[in-house]
Chains A and B, each alone.
Chain A
Amino acid sequence: MRIGVLWNKLAEPKNIPRLFAFSLGILLIIGLIVPMALNPDQLYVRPAPQVQVDEGLAIAPYDRGGEVLKAPGNINPQYPENAAKLGMITGYMSPISEWVSSISPYFGTSIYSSPGGLIDEILYYTRGFDTILESSILMMSFIIASWLSINYTMNRKNDEKEIKADVKKAINESQQVANEVKVSDVKARSKQLRRDN
């Protein structure tokens, strides 16, 4: 294939997501042969999966230890000097959460544990700026979606040019179909005539 043909294909917007998905797929397949191992020296330490569940803790897997306003929990941030009081309220639970966790062993995985039932200080304090950005991404998508649903910019029925082009296309197509039907009809008739004779 000539390179000019390739460039022309690249200039078509609808081909771009396919090309991107393809190159991403290639990279991810290459990733299968890259040696991967979890560095045990991590920020925001957590126990291994299932450990807290096996211990029978009601707030598994969110238990970071600590006592509210008395002893800090185990959080291990990057810059402890930026958050001197970190971990002091990480064990806080609202009265309702307290009650649910006392009667159910599945509190940690239920809707009560978030948001507000359990305070995750990593989410709201150490990395609070990330949480702000995440919710602004969501807010922007809601703004865009509501604009689109109110103004309905993709409404092609009211686009005059679009109607004309569509109608023309439809007329052409129906004429073509009619012609084809006519031709095959004539053929069939002549066949029938020959047979009859």
Chain B
Amino acid sequence: MVMDFVTLGGNLLGTIPLGDIVLYITPFNLFLFAVLLGFTALIAVSKPETQIEATMHYLHNTEVKVGPKEFKQRRFLSVLCGIASAGAMITGDLFNFTLFMALVGILNIGIVSAVKQTTVLNSAFNYGLIAMMCSLPLFGGAAIILAATGTLSLAVLSQMPASPMVVFGAALMLVGILGESGVAPFFASKAEMFRTAGSPFIVIIHLSSLFIIVRAVEILLLVLW
């Protein structure tokens, strides 16, 4: 059986053609897209939380606040991060997806880079190193799949049988996605980034990688089956 848009996402509701990059809308992709855009809208209007910690040996509390300048920068980057991950949900082009992924990665670093806590910045730096390394497997994987099949369109790729070269390209992409979204063995640097104030902005980092993993599974199924 061949996995295509219909078996994975439900009936094709429509396409948005932008030259060779065609965005596909199925109920599955539309749901992911709408949830992310809704959450992004919530972030755009919400105010950040303040962390209050008990101070050791003293009777007062320590407040970790988000200043107005930092707030503006982080809100801007979070909203863009939400839009970028929403775009990754409906794109129908392999290379376009990897570009969205790279954009989400750099925005994740950006949201955290505005923080003034050195431990958080240290882990953001380590995540940045991974994100930099990820560009090799992500774009390299897409390039290998292009070389093996001659196309980048997911609709065409889903109808093609997978050769060993395509499987290797998909495995490379998978490693890139795992590193960029910080799953399983590579979680520590990304998890440490969350340990700071400004909740809704921090949550978009988490949410974007979560949704991108779901979409990546769909894309890998389309390419491999």
Taking the nearest CB of chain A, how far is it from the CB of B53, in angstroms?
A: 13
- Find residues 109-131 in chain B having any chain A CB closer than 8 Å to their own CB: 109-110, 113-116, 118, 121-123, 126-127, 129-130
Q: Is A78 a contact of B153 with CB atoms below 8 Å?
A: yes
- Assuming A13-B192, A34-B168, is B107 touching A23 (CB within 8 A)? no
Q: Is A27 a contact of B20 with CB atoms below 8 Å?
A: no
Taking the nearest CB of chain A, how far is it from the CB of B113, in angstroms?
A: 5
A30 to B99, CA, bound (A): 25
Q: Is A19 a contact of B185 with CB atoms below 8 Å?
A: yes
Q: Is A151 a contact of B165 with CB atoms below 8 Å?
A: no
Residues of A within 8 A of B19 (CB): 77, 79, 82-83, 125-129
Residues of A within 8 A of B118 (CB): 154, 156, 159, 162
- Find residues 29-71 in chain A having any chain B CB closer than 8 Å to their own CB: 30-31, 34-43
- Residue of B17, B20, B185 touching A127 (CB-CB under 8 A): B20
Residues of B within 8 A of A38 (CB): 147
Q: Is A147 part of the binding interface, using a Cβ–Cβ cutoff of 8 Å?
A: yes
Q: Is B44 part of the binding interface, using a Cβ–Cβ cutoff of 8 Å?
A: no
Q: Is A133 a contact of B113 with CB atoms below 8 Å?
A: no
- Find residues 44-82 in chain B having any chain A CB closer than 8 Å to their own CB: 69, 73, 77, 80
Q: Is A43 a contact of B99 with CB atoms below 8 Å?
A: no
Q: Is A151 a contact of B69 with CB atoms below 8 Å?
A: yes
A10 to B215, CA, bound (A): 26
Q: Is B110 a contact of A143 with CB atoms below 8 Å?
A: yes
- Assuming A43-B150, A82-B19, A126-B20, is B77 touching A140 (CB within 8 A)? yes
A20 to B185, CA, bound (A): 9
Residues of B within 8 A of A20 (CB): 130, 133, 179, 186
Q: Is B114 a contact of A153 with CB atoms below 8 Å?
A: yes
Q: Is B99 a contact of A27 with CB atoms below 8 Å?
A: no
- Find residues 18-48 in chain B having any chain A CB closer than 8 Å to their own CB: 18-22
Taking the nearest CB of chain B, how far is it from the CB of A32, in angstroms?
A: 10
Residue of A13, A128, A156 most packed against chain B (CB within 10 A) = A13
Q: Is B172 part of the binding interface, using a Cβ–Cβ cutoff of 8 Å?
A: yes
- Assuming A27-B171, A43-B151, A140-B103, is B113 touching A82 (CB within 8 A)? no
Q: Is B217 part of the binding interface, using a Cβ–Cβ cutoff of 8 Å?
A: no
Residues of A within 8 A of B122 (CB): 13-14
Q: Is B199 part of the binding interface, using a Cβ–Cβ cutoff of 8 Å?
A: no
A173 to B122, CA, bound (A): 24
List the 7 closest pairs (A to B, CB-CB), nearest first.
Answer: A17-B129, A13-B189, A13-B123, A133-B99, A144-B110, A42-B150, A82-B17
Known: A19-B186, A43-B151, A130-B93. 8 other contacts (CB 8 A): A10-B185, A20-B130, A34-B168, A82-B19, A130-B21, A140-B107, A140-B110, A141-B106
Between-chain CB contacts (< 8 Å), 13 pairs: A13-B189, A16-B187, A17-B126, A20-B130, A23-B175, A24-B136, A37-B165, A78-B151, A79-B22, A140-B77, A147-B110, A147-B113, A151-B69
